[in-house]
Chains A and B, each alone.
Chain A
Amino acid sequence: MVLTDPSTNRVTAAETAQPEDLELVRRAQAGDVDAFGELVERNRRAVFRAALAGVGSAAEADDITQDAFVTAFQKLNGFRGEASFRTWLLAITWRKAIDRRKSVTRWMQRLASPAPGWDTGEEQDPMNHLASREQSQEDELLTSDLQRRLRSLIASLPRKLRDALLLAGSGDHSYEEIGRMLKVPTGTVKWRVSEARKVLRHKMAAMGYLER
């Protein structure tokens, strides 16, 4: 069955893949590791990007992705199928990402060895690392000044706005999925995304990029 998102009129991948996912989940619940492996293969990209949006570091996102899948397998019998498996999995992933973000150890590590390109002039947020990844010389030439500044500004957004904007902008998650991950209504997610854009526009205008 193909469902469309009424707000965006978009077919969500999670909903189309759900029946097969459920079959795999049932097999995995019976202890079939290969079936769970297939679920990992199908969802690894979405899970990884959600984790990356949460922590801003590919290495940490990889750890979180692994943890999320292992936790999902351990709690598989608790999956009742109220939401799609993917949504349930993404909610686990996001919790892991938030836990990692809040962990004291992580902050200590960051303070001890700041990531390359850390902008001390801005809010000390690990997301800045994501915004200022090392780029090749060629990329530097191709990337406009606007893009660089935008990434930096996105990284400095308030977390609630930034999370919503990154998750929505990744193209991997529907608003409903993001709402379940963040445990807020879908309308709130949409508002946050819109607000994030508004804030960015204001900041860019203040920097002289856009006429108000």
Chain B
Amino acid sequence: MKDGRRKTEDGKYEKDEASMFDLAIDRAVREMLDVDPPAGLRGRVIARLPVASAFRRKQLLRRKDLFRRKAWMLVPIAAASVILIALLLPRGAPKIVHEAPPVVAGTQSLPAAGPAMSPAVTRPRAGIRAAVGTGRRIQPGQVTAAVAEEPAQGARVAALGDVAPIAVTTIETPAPTTLAGVDVAPIRIAPISVNALPDTPHERQQQE
């Protein structure tokens, strides 16, 4: 019946006007409602939802929180890797054995004036020498002051020349300044004469 035909008594199909009419009604109804919703409906609906903005803010905060948590997880990993590198790097580096530079002690006080000073060249202390090249930490205070010098050819540091004593004279206090009576004279202004300028810039240029 749906296709607009009906079975007759002799078994043949013939057009059923009533069914045809039903099909026409269905078609008319479909045509009446055959309008698609305007585009962007989803966006417009979501924009009107009262919690839309609040929810998005919440989601953003949640993401930030997650990132912060992950960052905290990274801190111990980073610390552990730094320690590991600190332990492994010096051992892994090739051992360079070299003579430590001589250390010149500079803590002696200079005489105010007198004979030339002979520098006291000393070898680095055993503790320092042992520390160099092994990566062990040199304790503060082991070296007071050091001047590096190439010791290969046994070069010596030339003695310093005579140092002239520094003489400081007494500073004289300046005499106090006194102000004499101040006279005020009237200012004289000469009359100003202004010549009239030419009319146009072009004329002015020509005149100049």
Q: What is B's interface to A at a CB cutoff of 8 Å?
A: 17-18, 21-22, 24-33, 35-38, 41-42, 44-46, 48-52, 55-56, 58
Alpha-carbon separation in the docked complex, A79 to B38 (Å): 27
A-B contact pairs, 24 of them (CB 8 A): A33-B46, A33-B56, A37-B45, A37-B46, A40-B41, A40-B45, A41-B42, A44-B42, A45-B37, A48-B37, A58-B35, A65-B41, A66-B44, A70-B49, A146-B24, A147-B27, A151-B32, A154-B32, A169-B29, A197-B25, A201-B18, A204-B21, A210-B18, A210-B21
Which residue of chain B is the closest to A49 with respect to CB atoms?
B33
- The residue from A33, A58, A169 contacting B30, defined by CB atoms under 8 A apart: A169
Asked if A31 lies at the interface with its beta carbon under 8 angstroms from chain B, I say yes
Query: Which residues of chain B are within 8 angstroms of A147 by Cβ–Cβ distance?
Result: 24, 27-28, 31
Q: Who on chain A is nearest to B48 by CB? A: A70
> What is the CB-to-nearest-CB distance from B43 to chain A, in angstroms, rounded to a whole number?
8
A136 to chain B, nearest CB (A): 14
Is there a chain B Cβ closer than 8 Å to A25's Cβ?
no
Known A-B contacts A146-B24, A197-B25, A210-B17; the reply to A33 vs B49 at CB < 8 A is: yes
Interface size on A, residues (CB 8 A): 43
Tell me, yes or no, whether A170 is within 8 Å of chain B by CB.
yes
**Please, which residues of chain A bring their CB within 8 A of the CB of B49?**
33, 36, 70, 73
Closest to A69 in B: B45
User: Would you give the 0/1 interface string for A135-147, flagging 1 where the beta carbon is closer than 8 Å to chain B?
Assistant: 0000000000011
Cα–Cα, bound, A53→B22 (Å): 19
User: In angstroms, how far is the closest chain A Cβ from the Cβ of B36?
Assistant: 7
Chain B residue at minimum C-beta to C-beta distance from A139: B31
Within the complex, which residue of A44, A53, A74, A201 is in contact with B37, where a contact is CB–CB below 8 Å? A44
Across the interface, name the chain B residue whose C-beta is closest to A200: B25
Identity of the chain B residue whose Cβ is nearest the Cβ of A62 in the assembled complex: B38
In angstroms, Cα B22 to Cα A62, docked, is: 29
- List B contacts of A52 (CB < 8 A): 33, 35
Contact with B along A152-193 (1 / 0, CB 8 A): 001100000000011001110000000000000000000000
Contacts of B41 in A (CB 8 A): 40, 44, 48, 62, 65-66
| A211 in contact with B17 given A62-B41, A154-B29, A166-B29 (CB within 8 Å) | yes
Query: What residue of chain A has the Cβ atom nearest to residue B45's Cβ?
Result: A69
CB distance from B172 to the nearest CB of A (A): 87
Interface code A23-57, partner B: CB below 8 Å = 1, 0 otherwise?
00000000111001100110011011100110000
CB of A212 to closest CB in B, whole Å: 10
Chain A hits for B48, CB < 8 A: 66, 70
A33, A166, A200, A210 — most chain B CB neighbours (10 Å): A33
Nearest 9 CB-CB pairs, A to B? A169-B29, A48-B37, A150-B28, A69-B45, A40-B42, A170-B33, A151-B28, A58-B35, A31-B55
How many angstroms between the C-alpha atoms of A73 and B38 in the bound complex?
A: 20
- Enumerate chain B residues within 8 angstroms of A32, measured Cβ to Cβ: 55
- A74 CA / B52 CA spacing, docked (Å): 12
Q: Which residues of B contact A45 (CB under 8 A)?
A: 36-37
Say yes or no: is A90 at the interface (Cβ < 8 Å to chain B): no
Report the Cα distance A150→B44, complex, angstroms: 35
Distance (whole angstroms) from the CB of A11 to the closest CB of chain B: 17
A130 on the B face (CB < 8 A): yes
Nearest chain B CB to A24 CB, angstrom units: 13
Taking CB atoms, residues of chain B closer than 8 Å to A74 are 50
Determine the distance from Cα of A63 to Cα of B2 in the docked complex, in whole angstroms. Answer: 36
Given A36-B46, A73-B49, A197-B22, the answer on whether A166 and B35 have CB atoms closer than 8 Å is no
Q: Is residue A91 contacting chain B, with contact meaning CB distance below 8 A?
A: no
The interface bits of chain A over 104-136 (1 if a CB of B lies within 8 angstroms of the residue's CB, else 0) are: 000000000000000000000000001100000
Chain B residues near A37 (CB-CB < 8 A)? 42, 45-46
Determine the chain B residues whose CB is within 8 A of the CB of A201 once the complex forms. Answer: 18, 21
Complex Cα gap A66–B9 (Å):
54
